[in-house]
């Protein structure tokens, strides 16, 4: 697919990854159309150079109208992680994906790229995953199971699948803003020894993989995994944020105590109608010991991550300082904060 002048729809365009995809597509000469169910996302999406329209993936007719005339679709819209019930996640993550695939087919779109997750392989590994063709694991977790179902649906319909690892960088909520906030408040703690394995990918590298999947014909009906290939423990990763705040590392507590605290937060959240600060599923995720192969992205798409952890955290620190989230308040010289 030639991106020059091509109309490419991006669902979930108001989110962290969606905005970054819109920005990259606009820079590559495409005409991105950012779709988000929140009208208040308009300003942020339009700053990327994309057009904006309100679009709800659970509205089949609305999706057909929105995708008319689009040559490609990047589907990032989803209910994420551990903070929504199974019925809500099924409606958005599975039925919403079906609506997007149907609308893209009706529009005659050349390619759909569906954003999946390494979470489709579950959390309870004792050794590295050997193949990207390993079967996903249904485990009763709403996010894992609905992302697995939507991924398998998209594969069968010929979409290109990108499974990101842990996406960090400026504006990332789970891997940048939330942990920095908790560290500042003194509430951040890791289970056990903090030796769970993270499989990180910097936002710009993930977006490059997504765009390559969009323009590479052989990516249709294939799944690729995007992470930088250098595993790091949770303790070592989050200690970098602690250092930015002038703190000496991160606290750890025995796993049963931390899980009990997560359960208490979930109960309190249900009683008050608020989101929990942390959940047991999130704690399980950052305790996993899995790493995943990423050969197919390299071989099929010619993708190579360009931003290692040192550089990625340097850029992230610059943004955090510019936002006043860590002391200093001034960007590192030569690094422009992401919009």
Of all residues in the chain, the percent with pLDDT exceeding 70 is 93
The answer to whether position 116 is within a domain reads: yes
Lowest mean pLDDT among 132-136, 236-240, 245-249, 301-305: 132-136
For 1-11, the pLDDT digits (tens) are 899 999 999 99
Does residue 208 sit within a domain? yes
In a domain, residue 150? The reply is yes
Buried b / exposed e across 278-299, counting CB within 10 Å, b at 16+? Answer: bbbbbbbbbbbebbbbbebbee
Q: Residue 267 has what pLDDT?
A: 75
Write the CA distances from 315 to 171, 321, 326, integer angstroms: 11, 10, 13
CB of 25 within 8 A of CB of 3? yes
The residues that bridge with 52 in the sheet, in sequence order, are 34
Structure confidence at residue 259 (pLDDT): 76
Instruction: Give yes or no for residue 314 having a pLDDT over 90.
Output: yes
User: DSSP class of residue 325?
Assistant: S
Is residue 79 situated within a structural domain? yes
At 49, is the pLDDT very low, low, confident or very high (cuts 50, 70, 90)? very high
Alpha carbon of residue 99 to chain centroid: 21
Total tally of structural domains belonging to the chain:
1
> 95 pLDDT exceeds 60?
yes
List, in order, residues 6 or more apart from 166 with CB less than 8 Å away.
174, 175, 198, 199, 200, 201, 227
pLDDT tens digit sequence for 64-89: 999 999 999 999 999 876 556 788 89
Q: What is the mean pLDDT of the chain?
A: 90
Q: What is the CATH number of the domain that holds 55?
A: 3.40.50.720
Residue 102 has pLDDT above 90, yes or no: yes
Which residue do the tokens 């199974």 mark? 86
CB 115 within 8 Å of CB 162: yes
What pLDDT digit, counting tens, does each position of 111-123 carry? 999 999 998 988 7
Length of the chain: 339
Instruction: Say how far apart CA 151 and CA 149 lie, in whole Å.
Output: 5
Q: What is the pLDDT of residue 255?
A: 82
User: Within 10 Å of residue 195's Cβ, how many Cβ atoms?
Assistant: 14
Between these two residues, 67 and 333, which has the higher pLDDT value? 67
Is 253 within a domain?
A: no
The answer to whether 152 and 186 have CB atoms below 8 angstroms apart is: no
Top-ranked range on mean pLDDT: pick from 173-177, 210-214, 260-264, 273-277: 210-214
- Is there a domain that residue 176 lies in? no
Q: Rounded distance, CA 53 to CA 76, Å?
A: 15
Q: Is residue 47 part of a domain?
A: yes
In a domain, 259, yes or no: no
Structural domain including 88 reads 7-165+203-227+289-306
Surface-to-core class of residue 243, CB atoms within 10 Å of its CB (0-12 exposed, 13-18 middle, 19+ buried): middle
pLDDT of residue 329: 59
**Is the dihedral angle over the CA atoms 259, 263, 265, 269 positive or is it negative?**
positive
Question: Residue 83: its pLDDT value, please?
Answer: 58
């Amino acid at each position: 697919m030639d991106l020059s002048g091509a109309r490419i729809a991006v669902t979930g365009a108001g989110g962290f990854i969606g905005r970054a995809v819109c920005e990259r597509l606009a820079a590559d000469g495409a005409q991105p159309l950012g779709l988000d169910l929140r009208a208040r996302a308009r300003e942020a999406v339009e700053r990327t150079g994309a057009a904006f329209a309100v679009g709800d993936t659970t509205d089949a007719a609305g999706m057909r109208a929105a995708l008319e005339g689009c040559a490609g679709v990047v589907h990032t819209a989803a209910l994420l992680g551990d903070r929504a019930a199974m019925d809500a996640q099924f409606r958005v993550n599975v039925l919403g994906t079906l609506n997007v695939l149907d609308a893209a087919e009706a529009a005659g779109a050349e390619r759909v790229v569906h954003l999946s997750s390494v979470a489709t392989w579950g959390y309870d590994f004792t050794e590295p995953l050997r193949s990207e063709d390993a079967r996903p694991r249904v485990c009763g977790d709403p996010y894992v199971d609905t992302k697995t179902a939507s991924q398998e649906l998209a594969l069968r319909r010929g979409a290109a699948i990108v499974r990101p690892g842990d996406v960090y960088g400026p504006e990332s909520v789970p891997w940048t803003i939330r942990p920095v906030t908790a560290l500042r408040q003194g509430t951040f703690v890791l289970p056990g020894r903090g030796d769970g394995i993270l499989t990180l990918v910097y936002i710009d590298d993930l977006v490059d993989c997504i765009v390559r999947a969009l323009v590479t014909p052989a990516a249709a009906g294939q799944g690729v995994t995007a992470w930088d290939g250098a595993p790091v423990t949770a303790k070592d990763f989050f200690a970098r944020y602690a250092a930015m705040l002038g703190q000496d590392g991160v606290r750890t507590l025995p796993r049963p105590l931390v899980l009990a605290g997560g359960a208490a937060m979930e109960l309190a959240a249900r009683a008050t109608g608020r989101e929990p600060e942390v959940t047991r599923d999130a704690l399980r995720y950052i305790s996993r010991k899995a790493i995943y192969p990423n050969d197919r992205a390299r071989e099929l798409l010619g993708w190579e991550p360009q931003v290692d952890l040192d550089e990625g955290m340097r850029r992230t620190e610059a943004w955090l300082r510019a936002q006043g989230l860590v002391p200093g308040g001034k960007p590192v010289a030569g690094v422009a904060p992401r919009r």
